[in-house]
Amino acid sequence: MRREKLAIGGALGAAVGASICCVGPLVAAVLGLGAFGASSFFGPARPYLLAGAVLLLAFGFYATYWRRAPDCAPGEACAPTKAHRTGTFLLWFASVLVVAFALMPYYIGFVGSALTRKTAPAALAPAADQAGQFETLTVRVEGMDCASCEIPIRAALEKTAGVQGADVSYQRGDARVTFDPRQTDAQQIKRAIDSTGYHTR
């Protein structure tokens, strides 16, 4: 039973590690923190961590359901115990959590949108055209792995003086920034993005 518990714990640990690249930026943004440098490490390691979690769960299921056990009658020492039933429940519970962590990049963006304010840069475009004083800059951003990576970048840009709006997309791999050139410039905008732990080019 001890090996099964170790397998379950290892699988959960690997799944959590694989999800840090998505959860970390969201937590940092909600708490008002700036950079989350661990994303750059855990992002590339995510496939390997998930593979490790699956292998550990596979061992847990093998040990629980397919490993040959001695024949015994109910009530004997070898019969299933309450601890065994608890371990089986934990195995299935851990499996559900690993699946949830594995699918996190597909739904974390909706969670992030619900927890943080999202700027609508399209609404600012007409004002920029009428005033003729705003400019738009598109900056390539490296290291974004899922929608939650957009949140700290957007927050950093919105705090930058002169920035009127920021449309950050991990799918495009860039940030489109509407700004007042009298108050800021491309270098300051790139420095704001770099301060979050992601890199511009």
Residue 149 to residue 143: CA distance in whole angstroms: 8
140/82: higher pLDDT: 140
Largest CA distance in the chain: 85
pLDDT at residue 32 in the model: 57
C-beta separation of 95 from 49 below 8 A:
no
CATH code of the domain occupying 117-200: 3.30.70.100
Hey, what are 109's tokens?
């963006």
What does R_g of the chain's alpha carbons equal in angstroms?
24
pLDDT at residue 181 in the model: 93
In this prediction, what percent of the chain has a pLDDT beyond 90?
19
Please give the backbone phi and psi of residue 136, each rounded to the nearest 5 degrees, phi first: -120, 130
Q: Supply the pTM of this predicted model.
A: 0.56
Residue 108 has pLDDT above 70, yes or no: no
Residue 67: is it exposed, middle or buried by C-beta count within 10 angstroms (0-12/13-18/19+)?
exposed
DSSP category for residue 90: H
Residue 31 has pLDDT above 70, yes or no: no
Residue 156 to residue 190: CA distance in whole angstroms: 10
pLDDT at residue 185 in the model: 94
pLDDT at residue 190 in the model: 94
Q: What is the pLDDT of residues 52-107, one digit of tens each?
A: 888 888 888 887 777 655 555 555 555 555 656 777 888 888 888 888 877 776 67
Q: What is the pLDDT of residues 156-196, one digit of tens each?
A: 898 899 999 999 998 899 999 999 999 999 999 999 998 88
Hey, what are 17's tokens?
């590690």
50/78: higher pLDDT: 50
Return mean pLDDT, the chain. Answer: 74
The pLDDT of 23-32, averaged and rounded, is 61
Residue 154 to residue 179: CA distance in whole angstroms: 13
Neighbours of 131 (CB within 10 A): 9
Helices and strands in the chain, H and E counts: 7, 4
